[in-house]
Amino acid sequence: MRLRTLMVTAAVTLLGGVTAVVVASPAMAAGPTATFVKTSDWGSGWEGKYTITNGGTTTMNGWAVAFDLPSGSSVGSFWDADMTRSGQRFTFTNKSWNGTLAPGGTASFGLIGAGAGSPANCTLNGASCGGTTDPGTQVPGTPGAPSVTGVTQTSISLAWGASSGTVTGYRVYEGTTVRATVTGTSATIGGLGANTTHTYTVAAYNSAGESARSATVTGTTSGGTGPTVPGVPGNFRVTGTTGSAISLAWNASSGTVTGYRVYEGSTVRATVTGTTATISGLPACASRTYTVAAYNTVGESARSAAVSGTTTGCSTGPLPAHFLTGYWHNFVNPAVELRLRDTPAAYDLIAVAFAEATTIPGAVTFAVDPGLSSALGGYSDADFRSDIATMHSRGKKVILSVGGEAGRVAVNDATSATNFSNSMFNLIQSYGFDGVDIDLENGLNPTFMGQALRNLRSRVGANLIITMAPQTIDMQNATVSYFKLALDIRDILTVVHTQFYNSGSMLGCDQSFAYSQGTVNFMTALACIQLEAGLRPDQVALGLPAGPGAAGGGVVAPSLVNQALDCLARGTNCGSFRPPRTYPGIRGAMTWSINWDVSNGNQFANTVDPHLATLP
């Protein structure tokens, strides 16, 4: 946090260096081109860059780069362009300031890919990304007008005229959604409801890109007299929880319904004839995720959207149900210097930044920074220990943060895990810290860091506070190391306060849009990822900068933090993104930092802390 980078690039490349991989295009005559470079690849994802070059003789007024990604791959975030998506085809268009390219001019945009795939079938303004003079790599011609060749109660069959040129296959679109991909000139779209009308277009594609869409064709499924598979149940939701049960409800499905099956994964947990169910026999403070499907004699509907619920009985530990966290600087920078005891009363949890690595693998150490001591007129370790005791007397908790942007603590094997646990335990005993914050921005090993934290808790006890401060990119996917650590230790984890800043645009849990940092949508849509992936609401908090100077991007008015908390806790004050459910237990907020907040007149604490007391 001390020296944040503005671009996602730096955060990702630290996960594993690779040699830059360039996806080469065929040799082309001069003309506009778009060249892709994969600058980093860490197995489960990658970072890439497209460079658009105007090799022609006239000015380009706008550009659009489109490509396909294989199934299982997606775009996690991007910058310097706007993105739309149709199935596995992604289209990036220029921003207002980088769309005009004089002859010889260039523009570029970057992106983070999830999955092992690479872009394919690239087009620039509808032509091959490498140019258009080689007939063998031209985009195919537009398919002939499609026609409906048959219908049933659940399907519509189509046929169309073949495209000119080299054709790899055809995509059938319903609006912007790809409904079928085939190699021939016919397709059947199944899974439709009876007596429903659908409109389609067809496009051909090859390695150079995709053709223009065909004319539209409209078809209507037959009605029939017998039953069909029921429709998908709607508005699936959690209606209540106890210490051993989660109650669910949903809207009735269309069509003939015999009953409903409630699934946990692939296991049926309840079969009912109505639109409610209660799953009982659960342990206290247990999170579960369910779907529901309707069935009749014909078959079973598609599953509903998933919902998650948590039984009651979760211990909030030694902290309030909703609380404010702030980081305290053990160093000197342009923010005001503070003695720990001068931390404003609004802060419930103070994270001391930072513990430092030693020459012993995994081990950490701490002492008052000499520069800070001098700036405060002589602030000693003894003074600091006394201040921790003072904060305890005020009902506050003080933890030691490990890492930061410049931190190089590495816990990558059993020995370093033991060294970490031993050294942290000694610092807790020596200074009186209440716990540890994991802020390792240069990557971590979830297996051995989890081992270290469990060992530490076994020695300190159940009141050990364990927090995490991942960067936004670290909490996009539950398989990424930071997110995996949080899920692996959720039985002992206090809270994750993700840094919702210095990140650029990111996809939210709806996977529909890349939301811009510094907005209510960004905070709620990204917090939703964690809440829907298995963390309890009381383990999720919103991390934001305290104001100007605290971060390179994502600075928000504190009132927007309150709006985001309201949206998550109550479903009110949301932006255009609305979470699939409310999370009344959302834990609170964190800010980088206390020192920056004091420098900016305590606006963050004075605005957010009183609002936390109003949450459910």
Read off the CATH number of the domain in which 465 is found.
3.20.20.80
- Kindly state the percentage of the chain with pLDDT values over 70: 90
Residue 98 has pLDDT above 50, yes or no: yes
Radius of gyration of the chain (CA): 28
- Contact (CB, 8 A) for 196 and 255: no
277 and 217: one domain?
no
DSSP one-letter string for 308-367: EEE-S----TTS-SSEEEEEEESS-SSSPP--GGGS-TT-SEEEEEEEEE-SSTT-EE--
Range with the poorest average pLDDT among 15-19, 186-190, 510-514: 15-19
- Contact (CB, 8 A) for 260 and 250: yes
- The mean pLDDT value of the chain amounts to 86
User: Which contiguous run of DSSP H or E holds residue 387?
Assistant: helix 381-393
Residue 176 has pLDDT above 60, yes or no: yes
Range with the poorest average pLDDT among 1-5, 263-267, 583-587: 1-5
Report if residue 207 sits inside a domain.
Answer: yes
Most confidently predicted of 74-78, 194-198, 243-247, 305-309: 243-247
Q: Which residues are catalytic?
A: 441
CATH number at residue 245: 2.60.40.10
- Residue 139: which residues within 8 A CB-CB, separation 6 or more? 123, 126, 127, 128, 165, 205, 206, 208, 209, 210, 211
Residue 486 main-chain phi, psi, to 5 deg: -60, -45
Dump pLDDT digits (tens) for 219-273: 888 876 666 788 899 989 888 888 899 999 999 998 889 999 999 988 999 999 9
pLDDT-based confidence at residue 468 (cuts at 50, 70, 90) = very high
Which pLDDT value is given to residue 407?
Answer: 58
Domain boundary among 196, 221, 246: 221
- Interhelix angle 603-612/558-570, rounded to 10 degrees, is 20
199 and 271: one domain?
no
Report if residue 24 sits inside a domain.
Answer: no
Report if residue 405 sits inside a domain.
Answer: yes
Report if residue 16 sits inside a domain.
Answer: no
Dump pLDDT digits (tens) for 433-444: 999 999 987 778
- Residue 91: which residues within 8 A CB-CB, separation 6 or more? 64, 65, 66, 83, 84, 85
338 and 252: one domain?
no
Rounded to the nearest angstrom, the gap between the alpha carbon of residue 347 and the centroid of all alpha carbons in its chain is 27
- For 224, left (φ over 0), alpha (ψ -120 to 50), or beta? left
What six digits make up the tokens of 441? Answer: 């921005």
CATH number at residue 77: 2.60.40.290
Report if residue 56 sits inside a domain.
Answer: yes
Q: Select from 405, 412, 464, 396 the least CA-distant residue to 436.
A: 464
Q: d(Cα 260, Cα 273) in Å, to the nearest integer?
A: 6
User: Regarding predicted confidence, which is higher, 598 or 108?
Assistant: 598
Which pLDDT value is given to residue 541?
Answer: 97
357 and 486: one domain?
yes
401 and 497: one domain?
yes
Which pLDDT value is given to residue 189?
Answer: 92
Q: d(Cα 224, Cα 178) in Å, to the nearest integer?
A: 27
Report if residue 329 sits inside a domain.
Answer: yes
Dump pLDDT digits (tens) for 530-570: 998 889 999 999 999 999 999 988 999 999 999 999 999 99
Dump pLDDT digits (tens) for 8-58: 333 333 333 333 333 333 333 458 899 888 766 666 677 788 999 888 888
287 and 178: one domain?
no
437 and 304: one domain?
no
Which pLDDT value is given to residue 27?
Answer: 36
Q: What is the pLDDT averaged over residues 361-370?
A: 95
Q: Which residues of 56-90 are buried (b: 16+ CB within 10 A; e: fewer)?
A: eeeebeebbbbbbbeeebbbbbbbbbebebeebbb
Domain boundary among 95, 128, 161: 128
Which pLDDT value is given to residue 38?
Answer: 75
Which pLDDT value is given to residue 135?
Answer: 38
102 and 155: one domain?
no
Domain boundary among 311, 337, 354: 311
Q: What is the pLDDT averaged over residues 97-110?
A: 87
Q: Select from 253, 268, 234 the least CA-distant residue to 580.
A: 234
pTM recorded for the entire structure: 0.59
What six digits make up the tokens of 411? Answer: 């816990």
Q: d(Cα 45, Cα 477) in Å, to the nearest integer?
A: 10
Which pLDDT value is given to residue 6?
Answer: 33
Dump pLDDT digits (tens) for 299-354: 899 899 888 787 877 766 789 999 999 999 999 999 999 999 999 999 999 999 99
273 and 293: one domain?
yes
92 and 165: one domain?
no
Which pLDDT value is given to residue 603?
Answer: 96
Give the chain's domain count: 4
User: Regarding predicted confidence, which is higher, 169 or 138?
Assistant: 169
Domain of 243 in residue numbering reads as 237-311
175 and 290: one domain?
no
Report if residue 152 sits inside a domain.
Answer: yes
Across-strand partners of 541?
A: 497, 588
Which pLDDT value is given to residue 405?
Answer: 59
188 and 254: one domain?
no
Dump pLDDT digits (tens) for 377-432: 999 999 999 999 999 999 999 999 998 655 578 899 999 999 999 999 999 999 99
Report if residue 459 sits inside a domain.
Answer: yes
